[in-house]
Structure 1
Amino acid sequence: MNKRFTLAILIAGSMCAGFFSACKKESKAGGTTTTTTSGTATSDEDSLKYLMYNTMQVSYVDGGRSTTTSLPTYYWYSNVPTLNPLSSTYANADSLLERMKEYAVGTGSTVLDRYSFLDRTGSLSSSLQDGVSGSLKKVAATSGDYGMEVTYVYADASMSTTYLYVLYVDKNSPAGQAGLQRGDRITAINGDTNISYDGTSGSNYTKVINALYNSTSVTLKVNKVGTSSTTATYSLATTTYNINPVLFDTTYTINGAKVGYFVFYTFTSTYTSKGVASNTKTVLDALFSRFKSEGITNLIVDLRYNGGGSVTTAEYLDSAIAPASAAGKTMYYYLYNDKLTANLDQVGLEASVNFPASMGGLALDNVFFITSGNTASASEMTLNNLKPYMNVQLVGTTTYGKPCGFITFTLSDHDSTGKEQYLADLYAINFATENANHTGGYYSGISPTDSAADYIDAPWGSLTQDENLYNIKYYLTNGSYPANTGGRLAAGSNSGVLRVSKAPLNTKKFSGMVDYRLGKKLK
């Protein structure tokens, strides 16, 4: 659709931006420069470029129409020079955003913003805030998903052969309901057995991505976990479903004490956009109620595939896990850009969040987090917030490194008839967090207390086959971790070649640290 805008577009959404022929940007030092941008918006994409830029770099006030208030929302706005978002240099809003991110640099000119992005379907907001997977704000080719993640795994010690495996499956999803599970090896997709890894730009890789994440139906042939001879065929169709973020849970008795364990794969919000308790809250309430009644004195939270999500769910977990002595004390601090920080009361933002007066009731000696390079954002925030108040142990590998988060801005325009048109949800870094000891800034990730490998053929919860759990059991039994990082392999339970060495294929799954509450508070 072709439209021409010369002055202003009325924008609607959860928070908005406006379109003007000129913008004003103040430097970090406080000086002011005014630049008149040339060009006019001739398409929805032009509108999106300008609205995104204005929201990040100029001001969100009055739908972005204010010319007297300077309240940019981007955390690193002062690093970005004045740009013309309508320049033909930027083919689309995504390329403009990538250019802006290049200016978010830290020590040694390291680019810190690996995170900001545009969601053009609204699916992330639906899944994170309302707990419904695959629900779209904007009509697209697909709706819903299969509810599983897959990855390539090296199948021999020489790392010359790769197999495609199911990494995890949501219980409520089409894949979960059909019976697919962690450790199933996919041997054919739609009858095609040529699915070995050939690089992220390879034809096989592209074929797998399209079949599993960009289609509405698929047929998979698999070798079932734990056997090379049992095969099964699954025909799946995408659908929307209520996300169950807990993949597995159990309670062990180790060295005479009760130990709770659960696998948590996404921080879907505990309350929906309508303010009602979500399925995530129902699941977590039941889980922690059981842990409390069983009298656990140690807890293992498995976040090895958890890319984060809603801040309120991180707060729920911290409040459920932390000791009673943390009640009413600081859980974490927010850090904003200088303009927002100087006007917190005016804009309605919080400087910090405290633990509630009433805690979860657990009395834990230790909390263990199983981590990997896929453990990000709200996951890292959760464990970091607990460190000032209790013994926090990390087992696995170094986390992703994302101590910062988003306030969602929904960008829309109107056509010539006045009909609102959804363009995208903007996720650009708006804040960082620090724990009560002012510890944060872990852009290179958080190192584990003990290193352990992840093996795809290790079932959820196995104390003998999962090296992470083996090492934690060893610690609880002996007071220290195994001297070697191959403790599970030394026990002779597995050959060890099926080590998870690549990230989940669905790069769109990354969901960051999103604070929907702040979005509602912004004035």
Structure 2
Amino acid sequence: MKISFSNRLFSIILTGLLLIAGLGCKKNHNSQPSNPSSSNRLSDEDSLKYYIYHYMLVTFDDEAMAYFHDSLPLYLWYNQVPISSINPLDDNLYPKAETLLNKIISYPINPETGKPYDRYSFLDRAGSVSDLLQGGVTGDMGFQPVYAYDANNNLHLVVLYVYKNSSAGQQGVQRGWEITAINGNSNISDRNMVINAIYYSSSSSFTFKKPDGTSVTLTIQAMQYVVNPVLFDTVYTLSNGKKVGYFVFNQFIDIFDSANNPTETKNELDAVFQKFQDSAVNDIIVDLRYNGGGSVNTAEYIDNKLAPASAAGKVMYSYVYNDKLTKYASQLQLPSQIFFTSTGSFQLDHLFFIVSRNTVSASELTINNLRPYMDVQLVGDTTYGKPVGFFGWPIYDYDSTGKQQHLADLYSVNFQTKNATGYGDYFNGLVPSKFEYDYVGYNWGDTRDPNLQDVFNFLTTGNYRISAGARLATGAASLRMIPGSLPLKGFQGMVDFKQAQQLRPILMR
């Protein structure tokens, strides 16, 4: 990715930064690779820090900045950052690019909470987020554990979910199985041991206790596989004859890959919605309780499928950019609004979402977009609270031979979204219609799951049930998830790849 420094304003900025940083730098940022033998070359780390500062706070494209005679920063809250006081090449203050990024995002403060708005922006050095969201490809053991308490507050380690194409999925591991030993060690309360074995090992042995009381020991390996985000789907027939479609959706992987080919995610979603249409469902339950978000494109696709026919042609959501991008949005071909298109697949009486503190961003966008047009109800816990998203910006420089090399992908907050009524300030999360604990001893679709029971009770009586009795259960049914007890592996946020691709050609001119 080339950056031109022909415009005088930017040359002055760069010269000042280089003087502050000293002349011992190893690489300069000309539009062509520098001479490998030159002493005036920045290190890769300094290059990365410089690009982060430049893209977020100055401009994403120097030629466009020169054309408009104005800065074009990408960061939504750039005007709350004291730009002149930050020298990205100060290795004492910012030894790593992440240190600089964390400093930048500490400045925008939410006046309601007195805390930083931005608990979201991050740097992906491996490019794994793009691989996951655009190609559906990831590499791990394929299951997520979590700690849970039983009715007597005894600690258990339980499988939260499994991807069928992974090593764990191929060996039949299921949600609700209890892990009683790892590599022969039964001290499952050792959190570091659990994290190292699952997240940082190529292979580990796990002893699982199944709901029927039997145990099995399996060796599970970290491997590359294609994620299947639809973990479960079915159609229920309730006592009053209502048909209810239910599916678990665990990641908003894009429905099209980078070559515009349909992904497995699109195929799975299409199969689920076709099943629901064939069954003439009256209501749908979408289980997003561990969905950290992903592609905005997939959120739009699902919303178009679920929205009533009356929503066609109406506003789905609006973008909020910073003042600079807003000023030149039309010239940059940045949209201000997205509209519903092919709606009317269903005429639902109610739409339910099962949610939790791990329901993030693109998941929240999907919910918020539909609220102005239909009866949308939430069951579970308050969502994470992330009404903002990323373009996803790859950062490159050149090595000593002049070969382009990928340094990292920058995910800094670039936009906020609001629904057709103008609501989008859910930084503290979306509050459920009915609060419910997450009992993780139940497998997907088990009608004893209190979250499903809440919905079924509403659909048959018109009211949500009182949930106190669920806590009196014993065995696997009593295992209540401890939120935050273990890190959930997976992306949290929403990425608008379409808008990023729209802007990048300007950068490549």
TM-score normalised over the length of structure 1: 0.87
8 A Cα contact 2:470 2:478, kept in partner = no
8 A Cα contact 1:23 1:58, kept in partner = no
Which residue is equivalent to 1:85?
Answer: 88
Q: Identify the match of residue 266 of structure 2 among 266, 274, 281.
A: 281
d(CA) in 2 for partners of 1:424, 1:208: 29
- Name the SS of the counterpart of 1:291 in structure 2: helix
Q: Identify the match of residue 131 of structure 1 among 123, 136, 146.
A: 136
CA RMSD, Structure 1 to Structure 2 (Å): 2.4
Q: Identify the match of residue 451 of structure 1 among 423, 435, 456.
A: 435
- Name the SS of the counterpart of 1:244 in structure 2: coil
Which residue is equivalent to 1:428?
Answer: 412
* Structure 1 unaligned regions, length at least 5: 1-10, 26-32, 134-143, 197-203
Alpha-carbon displacement from aligned partner over 1:189-243 (angstroms, at most 9, x marks no partner): 22222230xxxxxxx323322221122212111111x13x411111122222221
Tell me how far 1:366 sits from its aligned partner: 0.3
State which drifts further: 56-65 or 255-264. Answer: 56-65
Q: Identify the match of residue 467 of structure 2 among 476, 485, 488.
A: 485
Which residue is equivalent to 2:293?
Answer: 308
State which drifts further: 146-155 or 382-391. Answer: 146-155
- Name the SS of the counterpart of 1:240 in structure 2: strand
Alpha-carbon displacement from aligned partner over 1:313-346 (angstroms, at most 9, x marks no partner): 1001100101000011110000000000000012
State which drifts further: 79-88 or 379-388. Answer: 79-88
Q: Identify the match of residue 219 of structure 1 among 165, 182, 205.
A: 205
Instruction: Note the 1:440-479 alignment, pairs <5 A.
Output: 440-463=424-447, 465-479=448-462
d(CA) in 2 for partners of 1:278, 1:43: 38
Which residue is equivalent to 1:375?
Answer: 359
d(CA) in 1 for partners of 2:485, 2:312: 37
Which residue is equivalent to 1:503?
Answer: 484
Instruction: Note the 1:59-98 alignment, pairs <5 A.
Output: 59-62=59-62, 68-82=69-83, 83-87=86-90, 88-98=92-102
Tell me how far 1:502 sits from its aligned partner: 2.1
d(CA) in 1 for partners of 2:180, 2:301: 40
Tell me how far 1:508 sits from its aligned partner: 4.7
Tell me how far 1:511 sits from its aligned partner: 2.8
Tell me how far 1:362 sits from its aligned partner: 0.7
d(CA) in 1 for partners of 2:122, 2:330: 28
TM-score normalised over the length of structure 2: 0.89
- Tell me which amino acid in the other structure corresponds to 2:186: T
CA 1:47–1:22 in 2, change beyond 3 Å: closer, same or farther?
A: farther
Which residue is equivalent to 2:37?
Answer: none
- Tell me which amino acid in the other structure corresponds to 2:423: T
Instruction: Note the 1:38-437 alignment, pairs <5 A.
Output: 38-39=20-21, 40=25, 42-62=42-62, 68-82=69-83, 83-87=86-90, 88-108=92-112, 109-133=114-138, 144-157=139-152, 159=153, 161-196=154-189, 204-224=190-210, 226-227=211-212, 229-254=213-238, 255-356=240-341, 358-437=342-421
8 A Cα contact 1:149 1:505, kept in partner = no
Tell me how far 1:36 sits from its aligned partner: 2.6
8 A Cα contact 1:403 1:432, kept in partner = yes
Tell me how far 1:405 sits from its aligned partner: 0.3
d(CA) in 2 for partners of 1:104, 1:24: 25
- Tell me which amino acid in the other structure corresponds to 1:276: N
- Name the SS of the counterpart of 1:46 in structure 2: helix
8 A Cα contact 1:333 1:433, kept in partner = yes
- Name the SS of the counterpart of 2:347 in structure 1: coil
d(CA) in 2 for partners of 1:35, 1:479: 68
d(CA) in 1 for partners of 2:195, 2:8: 42
8 A Cα contact 2:144 2:488, kept in partner = no
Tell me how far 1:64 sits from its aligned partner: 9.2
d(CA) in 2 for partners of 1:479, 1:19: 65
8 A Cα contact 1:71 1:339, kept in partner = yes
d(CA) in 1 for partners of 2:340, 2:179: 45
* Structure 2 unaligned regions, length at least 5: 27-41
d(CA) in 1 for partners of 2:400, 2:63: 19
Tell me how far 1:174 sits from its aligned partner: 1.3
8 A Cα contact 2:140 2:222, kept in partner = yes
Which residue is equivalent to 1:7?
Answer: none
d(CA) in 2 for partners of 1:23, 1:235: 59
Tell me how far 1:93 sits from its aligned partner: 0.7
d(CA) in 1 for partners of 2:65, 2:102: 24
- Tell me which amino acid in the other structure corresponds to 2:108: A
CA 1:319–1:23 in 2, change beyond 3 Å: closer, same or farther?
A: same
Aligned length: 478
CA 1:392–1:312 in 2, change beyond 3 Å: closer, same or farther?
A: same
Tell me how far 1:383 sits from its aligned partner: 0.5
State which drifts further: 167-176 or 499-508. Answer: 499-508
Higher relative helix content = 2
- Tell me which amino acid in the other structure corresponds to 2:202: T
Alpha-carbon displacement from aligned partner over 1:331-378 (angstroms, at most 9, x marks no partner): 00000000000000122211010011x325111000000000000100
- Tell me which amino acid in the other structure corresponds to 1:355: F
Tell me how far 1:155 sits from its aligned partner: 3.3
- Tell me which amino acid in the other structure corresponds to 1:147: G
d(CA) in 1 for partners of 2:59, 2:223: 38
d(CA) in 2 for partners of 1:508, 1:84: 33
- Tell me which amino acid in the other structure corresponds to 1:146: M
CA 1:519–1:332 in 2, change beyond 3 Å: closer, same or farther?
A: same
CA 1:369–1:466 in 2, change beyond 3 Å: closer, same or farther?
A: same
CA 1:206–1:489 in 2, change beyond 3 Å: closer, same or farther?
A: closer
Which residue is equivalent to 1:28?
Answer: none
Tell me how far 1:187 sits from its aligned partner: 1.6
